[in-house]
Amino acid sequence: MEKRFILFILLSGFVIACDQDISPEITPTFIELDVPEYMGKTVPFPERNPFSKEGIELGRMLFYDPILSSNNQISCATCHKQELAFSDGVALSTLGVSGNTLQRHAPAIINLAWNDGLFWDGGAKDLESLTFAPLAHPDEMNQDITELVEELKQIPDYRERFKKVFGKDTIQSALIVRALAQFQRSLISHNSKYDKYLRNEEGGTLNSLELKGMELVGKKCSNCHSGEFFTDFSYHNNGLDAVFPAEPEHVGKGRNRVTLNPEELGAFKTPTLRNIMLTAPYMHDGRFKSIEEVLDHYAQNMVNSPTLDTTFILQNENFGVPLSEEEKEAIVAFFQTLTDFTFINNQAHSNPFLIRKE
């Protein structure tokens, strides 16, 4: 009896030791992503999808992998290029599977972890739900999600990575979008010249024109582009159009397409000003080719409508944002300080397949 007990103890110890040896191999390394105090110190995430080192890397692989499209030629990075702050540099892309012109300008992927509504009209609550739309849209990636799951299951490396990140022996569509969301939430921009100015770091000295521009942005733009994220994360009719047609795809209705609230006709999400000099063309349909066209729009070309945001309504029935040519020049100079070269050159955000080949 005593020998059996000793044997049981020895075997139990062996099993525990084996578990300890295996555990690090199948358990992801959970991490927090730190940001400056003026951005909240850490990057937020939903409880169901915490950051892990392996999860972000899996999401990065998926982001750059054309296997996500039905023709295996289009990846997320096709329309979200790192060198352009994860925008695409064109007004309305034709690079989707169908070759048809898309109806909305591809937004930049910058600091999206703090958003509680995504797309130009807030049609997606979070990054997990957002991803299903471009994957399935016939003019974008045109992917059958069930087929995608089966394709990924055929790749041993993906099977191993999904198991380590999510602890499941199978790949599921919900896990695909969670991995992609982890990577996209990790795309944080906080190392521009302006950030160095805030932190009183080397390379953060602003000249007189840039300081004047910073002051003007605070006075004339901050009702929408507020705080250190340079967005209020909300929706505004900023005087682009007087009418808001239902076709195509109700895009021109803006936030109203989602809420059906008549007061939100023509209201679109406020984009961040961070890296703005890299993300032309501008607006939900990319109608303005340059930042100068944007400033001209606010200064003298806004269109009035019943839902025009009250921010732009001035005295004597005038509307817009009065700007002199000198003020425009100063604002552009400040915008230049918001370009984050560390962000657009960060190897942790780059195509992992190309890096491996080098």
Q: Which structural domain range is residue 277 located in?
A: 193-341
**Could you check whether the bond before residue 281 is cis, i.e. omega within 30 degrees of 0?**
yes
pLDDT surpassing 90 at residue 247 = no
Segment 132-145 shows an average pLDDT of: 97
Residue 283 has pLDDT above 70, yes or no: yes
> Are residues 222 and 253 both part of a single domain?
yes
Q: Is the pLDDT of residue 246 over 90?
A: no
- Mean local confidence (pLDDT), 175-188: 98
Average pLDDT over residues 192-221: 98
| 77 three-state secondary structure | helix
d(CA 175, CA 173): 5
Quick one: DSSP state of residue 319? B
Tell me how far apart the alpha carbons of residues 20 and 262 are, in angstroms, rounded to a whole number.
59
Q: State residue 316's pLDDT score.
A: 77
Assess whether 269 and 314 both reside in one domain.
yes
Q: Calculate the average pLDDT of the chain.
A: 92
Residue 66 is classified by DSSP as G
Would 272 be classed as within a structural domain? yes
Q: What pLDDT is attached to residue 91? A: 98
Q: What is the pLDDT of residue 26?
A: 76
Whether 184 and 207 share a structural domain: no
Do 105 and 91 contact (CB within 8 A), yes or no? yes
Sequence-ordered alpha helix ranges (H) in the chain: 2-26, 53-64, 127-136, 145-153, 156-166, 173-185, 193-198, 208-220, 256-259, 291-296, 325-336, 341-345, 352-357
The answer to whether position 16 is within a domain reads: no
pLDDT at residue 25 in the model: 62
Same domain, 122 and 167: yes
Question: Are 85 and 275 within 8 A, CB to CB?
Answer: yes
Which of the listed residues 162, 188, 214 is the one where a domain comes to its end? 188
Nearest Cα to 338, choosing from 186, 196, 184? 196
Its pTM stands at 0.91
137 and 57 in one domain? yes
Q: What is the pLDDT of residue 6?
A: 37
> Residue 21 pLDDT > 90, yes or no?
no
pLDDT of residue 89: 98
pLDDT at 249: 83
Task: List the structure tokens of 96.
Answer: 């989707």
Work out the average pLDDT over 297-313.
96
- For residue 45, being part of any structural domain is answered with yes
| Domain CATH for 136 | 1.10.760.10
pLDDT band per the 50, 70, 90 thresholds, residue 248: confident
Instruction: Find the mean pLDDT for residues 260-289.
Output: 98
Q: Which of 173, 188, 203 is the last residue of a domain?
A: 188
Look at residue 130 in the predicted model and tell me its pLDDT: 94
**135 occurs within a structural domain:** yes
**79 and 134 inside one domain:** yes
DSSP 113-178: GG-SSBSTT--BSSHHHHHHHHHH-TTTT---HHHHHHHHHT-HHHHHHHHHHH--SS--HHHHHH
| 330 touches 213 (CB < 8 A) | yes
In the predicted model, is pLDDT for residue 3 greater than 80?
no
Which three-class secondary structure state does DSSP give residue 336?
Answer: helix
Is the pLDDT at 24 greater than 60? The verdict is no
Count of domains for the chain: 2
What span, in angstroms and rounded, lies between the C-alpha atoms of 305 and 240?
Answer: 9
Give helix 145-153 / helix 173-185 axis angle, nearest 10°: 90
In the chain, what percentage of residues exceed pLDDT 90? 87
* Least confident segment among 3-12, 71-80, 98-107, 319-328: 3-12
Task: Give a yes or no: residue 348 inside a domain.
Answer: no
279 in the same domain as 218: yes
Residue 357 pLDDT > 60: no
- The closest alpha carbon to 349, from 57, 46, 111, belongs to 57
Do 137 and 202 sit in the same domain of this protein?
Answer: no
Q: What angle do CA 221, 223, 228 make, to 5 degrees?
A: 75
